[in-house]
Amino acid sequence: MFFQKKNRKDRKQFEILANMSIVGIHLVTCTFVGLAMGYFLDKWLGTKPWGLLFFLIFGIAAGFKNVYMEVKKLQDQDEGRGRHDGSH
């Protein structure tokens, strides 16, 4: 019984850590994908800095949108847990 309580606590901490790491991964990957798309489109079309700049900004904006949506989802999950626990 003692071990089950500890495992739940550790599981909760790892779940929080995983959710927060996803937020960082979303921002970095979206920025990198936008940068790569802009670089290769510039190389292919010969529009040197413009495609890179446009897609970099687009990638950063998409990353922040994804971060916002992920944080919103986590907040909704947290509110749902509070209602089910009876502590809300």
pLDDT along the chain (88 residues), means of 10: 66 85 93 97 94 97 95 86 56
What is the pLDDT at residue 3? 55
Task: Classify residue 28: in a domain, yes or no.
Answer: yes
What is the pLDDT at residue 57? 97
Task: Classify residue 40: in a domain, yes or no.
Answer: yes
Task: Classify residue 30: in a domain, yes or no.
Answer: yes
Task: Classify residue 9: in a domain, yes or no.
Answer: no
- Tell me whether residue 55 is exposed, middle or buried, using C-beta atoms within 10 angstroms of its C-beta: 0 to 12, 13 to 18, 19 or more: buried
Task: Classify residue 60: in a domain, yes or no.
Answer: yes
Task: Classify residue 4: in a domain, yes or no.
Answer: no
Is the whole-model pTM more than 0.85? no
35-39 CB contacts, 8 Å cutoff, 24+ apart? 35/59
Task: Classify residue 31: in a domain, yes or no.
Answer: yes
Domain of 33, in residue numbers: 23-70
What is the pLDDT at residue 88? 46
What is the pLDDT at residue 6? 66
What is the pLDDT at residue 4? 61
Give the count of alpha carbons within 13 A of 61, CB side only: 6
Q: For the chain, what is the domain count?
A: 1
